[in-house]
Structure 1
Amino acid sequence: MTDAGSLENSWIAPVAEGPLDAAVRVPGSKSITNRAYVLAALASAPTRVRAPLDSRDARLMLDALAMLGARSEHTADGVLVHPAASGQRGADETVTIALGNAGTVARFTPALAALGSSTVIFDGDEAIRRRPIGPLLAALRDLGADIEDEGRGAPPFTVRGNGGLRGGKVNLDSSASSQFLSALLLAAPAFDAGVTVRLIGGNPPSEPHIAMTLDMLRRFGATVERDGAEFYVAPGQLSCPGYVVEPDLSTAAPFVVAAAAAGGTVRIPGWPQHTTQPGDWMRSLLTELGATVELDARGLTVTGGPTIHGANLDLHEVGELTPVISALLCFADSPSVITGVAHLRGHETDRLTALATELSGLGAKVSETDDGLKITPAPMHGGVFHTYDDHRLVMAGAVLGLRVHGVEVENPATVGKTFPDFVPTWTTMLDA
């Protein structure tokens, strides 16, 4: 694999000099924030999204929606999003949406472009051109969208808006990403006939993200039905005057893992007692690996145990947690196997190859399988931990640095995708 950044921009991950004792507040959920913005753009009246994430991906989403007619304004407690219908561009306009490397922007906004009247060009970072989107574009064509991608099945592509989509029934292969399904469902209330999506090609990864999409549609007033692998969203108006975003539990993962890796206690205030976020799975995982976990009205408290247990883990539904979990398992008392995450090869980078390469490069014995990783703990040493423009790899490198001197995490600014203040927050946790 090729390096994504420069060693001129690196960070020596700090070592924990003793047990931790810290409370860490994490920003709002990226997944919830960007879904809320899309639904707000389709609503019949403005929506005040409170406590949203402010990061590169979230800003890219707001910029994309603004190009599609949904202007927004920052307020003291969040962002006020105005419906796209109030600011539609003319049919003779051609606009370009910058995707960066944001999967939610690339997948959630093409349907909205098809609902408008402009010609919209979608393109972004080199990494986004390697991320799959072909099955979603094919489904949108079947539903009436005019899309040209020259057979790439990836950006860049062009959507020519015809003022609406007929919708109806469609088959969708969402096995590479649950975002394909979410993209259709989120926009479906604005389709003339709504949408009935029948999944083919295997189960999508990350069932919690599908549940999140369905829950948020209902919160905005949509009629949603599910019968196994078939989903129906009726046409209708959306409305939600105010929506409060939960803390991002996947972004919280490296902090709660830190308690298991370094010992001591880490508290995450505001951890919801009921949530659809996949990051909530960390509670049962850390218990299985030997930590003590307590959830109450104040939040989540994790205390590290005397050892970290090796485990066989199927992470199909929570694949985004794989990088920090893999880093933690390098310190376990026995080998571990992670399965069910072949889809991670199509994320910000090929995460399986990246993790096997970088963890092995610092001394652990990590190898790829068809759908995961085998991790055998071994003495580790310092060195460069390449991150391949992937925010979750920065977090994994930070976890390694808790117990390994001299871990030089490449391009830490990459974490601005989801948590711009990650490095100072991590350092504060250790100083506490």
Structure 2
Amino acid sequence: MFQTLTHNLTRIFDKIKGNGTLSESNMDSALRDIRIALLEADVALPVVKDFIAAVREKAVGQQVIRSVSPGQMVVKIIHDEMINILSSSAENTSLQLQSAPPVNIMMVGLQGSGKTTASAKLALRLKNQNKKVLLTSLDTYRPAAQEQLAKLASSINVDSLPIVTNSNPIAITKRSITESKLSGYDIVIYDTAGRLHIDDDMLEEVAQIKNLVMPTEILLVIDAMIGQDAVHVANNFNNKLAITGVILSRIDGDARGGAALSIKHVTNKPIKFLSNGEHLSNLEEFSPERVVSRILDMGDIVSFVEKAASVIDHQDAERAAAKFQKGKFDLNDYLSQIRSIRKLGGFSSILSMLPGTNQMIPKIASDKLDDKLLLHQEAIILSMTKTERKNPDILNAMRRKRIAGGSGTSVQKVNMLLKQFKQISELMKKAGKMDAKQLMRSGIGKLFS
């Protein structure tokens, strides 16, 4: 989400690193560039003004440390101020679930913001915390919206309120309240209807629903790609409903990041979750420190490790590590690695969480980061026989042509996969002799060459 902002800020930091001192003149120049970078990232103007003023006060004042280079000092000041913008010291950013059950959570937002998917993601997260969850769709306007939520609920083994045709949102709400009490649900998530734009009818309807369910949480789902409009949307919903928090959706898209930096500062409501992909496990708690580290290209190793731990089977990982150490790495193992990368969100998601790699992403050809490549490679390997996967050396021209036809790809893509497999096999054999930095350089270089 922050690639454009990260690239521009990194360029600004590089520009001032050559300065011997942090004077008002070079600070003014840097702040002008930072202001432009923030505005280009769709950060709201009032936020930019407050941010620049705070940075200027600290950078030009007595808080500058003489023993630190100007570049390092500016990065530290910007890092701290961004955390201040995104932090919520007076409010608890975690979900408030301490009320007597059933705890009611309302999901609100515009149509297309990702409310329904976010509702299912939140339900899965709560289910994994041993909560009995009921999903209720109140969207009777968008075609098949109720069926969509029911399908998502079924896919994660969570209950959804049975659909009754020709029932209005208020009647559905009353039925859900009764069902949740009779069946002893811990939490009920209400997926309310949205519109293409904010209107009085929508806000009046969700206000009526709020009065009925008395929700503990009212979570506004906002598409991170709408930029400065996010502030307008958040203010309207907050003024009418007094929202308790925000979920930013589609943060894995080509967004400029302004929404994240603007919403908390303008509305004083915490961002509680980030929704980053279509996979229903892709919902992470919002952490200002981690987000700022991503923006400033310092990486987010903690999130990477947590995500890896949640999607990768520990025993499979141990077996793979043992095979790597022995130099026994076949296409079955390669297939497992492809599937793990897909679970982690693809190449771009992984690189975005590693320190310093955001500068690399624009330089890497887009086809090398295209996650469709992973699907194609999986299809190619699945078109091979068990013998061919264990011993790729037997794959002659005729076998490669057959595999290309069976996978719906081309011989060229089969050859590309085998080339990458060979490179990674060689890397695995050398891995034991390398330190972490050498392994990182060699691994990324080989993978995208």
The TM tier, using the shorter chain, reads under 0.3
Q: Which has the higher contact order (CA 8 A, sep 6+)?
A: 1
Write 1 or 2 for the structure with the bigger share of strand. 1
* TM-score under structure 1 length normalisation: 0.26
Return the index of the structure with the highest Cα Rg: 2
Write 1 or 2 for the structure with the bigger share of helix. 2
* TM-score under structure 2 length normalisation: 0.26
